[in-house]
Homo-oligomer: A and B are copies of this chain.
Amino acid sequence: MADASLLRELRGDRDPAAAPSVWFMRQAGRSLPEYRALREGTTMLDSCLRPDMAAEITVQPVRRHRVDAGIFFSDIVVPVRVAGLGVEIRSGVGPVVEHPLRTEADIDALPVLGDDYEAGLEPIREAVRRTVAELGTTPLIGFAGAPFTVASYLVEGGPSRDHLRTRALMRDRPELWARLAAWVAELSGRFLRAQVLAGASAVQLFDSWVGSLGAAQYLEHVQQHSAAALAHVADLPVPRIHFGVGAAHLLPEMHAAGATVMGVDHRLPLDRALELLPAGTPLQGNIDPAVLFTAEEARFAEARAVLAAGAAAPGHVVNLGHGVPPETDPQVLTDLVAFLHAQGGARA
């Protein structure tokens, strides 16, 4: 299969002759005019739950940029909505939860994730099937939010800078926190599994805000729940990518949650990441998104530096160190993909 070199990189089995593989976090979405046109008149969460739209949006950046994977178009709170909780995505704000979870009664009232939830995931499975059919030999990466990040939205009620209520809850009421985080782990784990069973070739568990925790809190209150989410797909033959922002101080701990590939943000050079991780860990990352706003020279210099730093890994999929900023010129991404592919194999 011509396009499987991305999967070989993710498995740590790089084809030395292959060109670098690349995709971009948040490649589907607001930076693309065809996305903005399609989304017109449909809310974010509705578009995620309409199989035709989710599939088309997922394919758009593959078609335009010729990236080596699709990332399933969704949002970390989509499974929250499927489970029946009131949540919406407000433009310019982010996910907003109707009834933030603060008390024992709130946790008691969380719905059991049974057949209704599985049935509710049918639009996701259908969207994945359509996407995979459309993508052909290009692999699709499944998507879910990690327990800490999803739970922080549920507890805070929306985006927050320091996640103080969430982090206070885990220290103050560890048993309540554990119940909430376990619920989210099942929610996200089943969401991932549904995508893989419908055809996704790899998964990525996003823990956007986990970097606000120290290692002690992570190990005591979070790692086991991320592990539970990833365990939902551990029996399936798919690489499990795990990524957090500003989480250089947690890299080995996050890997030990059951990831097989570590996504690294732009703050930590890939060669340093390799030193921190068990030998043989494939990496994903980590072009600084700031270079999307520089002249091409600085951008390509950064891309070359990232390739060089990742060359010592047994597998390396190029990505940004964070999601594509909405104001990015799409042509910049298209050209960056072409530049990376032109680097050819044997780049170490």
Q: Which A residues are within 8 Å of any B CB, using their own CB?
A: 162-165, 167-168, 171-172, 211-217, 246, 248-249, 266-269, 288-295, 298, 302, 322, 325
Contacts and interface: CB of A to CB of B under 8 A. Distances in A.
A28 B288 CA distance: 36
Majority secondary structure of chain A interface residues (helix, strand, loop or mixed): helix
B171 A291 contact: yes
Contacts of A172: 293-295, 298
Contact of A289 (B164, B249, B266, B269): B164
A37 to B, nearest CB: 25
Given A165-B293, A171-B288, A214-B266, 7 more contacts: A163-B290, A164-B325, A167-B290, A168-B290, A168-B292, A215-B269, A246-B246
A269 B215 CA distance: 8
A215 B265 CA distance: 13
27 contacts: A162-B289, A164-B289, A164-B292, A164-B293, A165-B293, A167-B288, A167-B290, A168-B293, A168-B294, A171-B291, A171-B298, A171-B302, A172-B293, A172-B294, A172-B298, A211-B246, A211-B267, A212-B267, A213-B267, A214-B266, A214-B267, A214-B268, A215-B269, A216-B269, A248-B248, A248-B249, A249-B267
Contacts of A165: 293
A214 B288 contact: yes
Contacts of A216: 269
Contacts of A292: 164, 168
A165 B294 CA distance: 9
A268 B288 contact: no
Contacts of A288: 167, 171, 214, 217
B289 A214 contact: no
Contacts of A162: 289-290, 322, 325
A294 B325 contact: no
A249 B286 CA distance: 15
A321 to B, nearest CB: 8
A195 B318 CA distance: 48
A168 B291 CA distance: 6
Contacts of A217: 288
Identify the 7 closest CB pairs spanning chains A and B, nearest first: A167-B290, A172-B294, A168-B293, A171-B298, A248-B249, A168-B290, A214-B267
A303 to B, nearest CB: 12
Contact of A290 (B164, B246, B268, B322): B164
A215 B214 CA distance: 20
A325 to B, nearest CB: 6
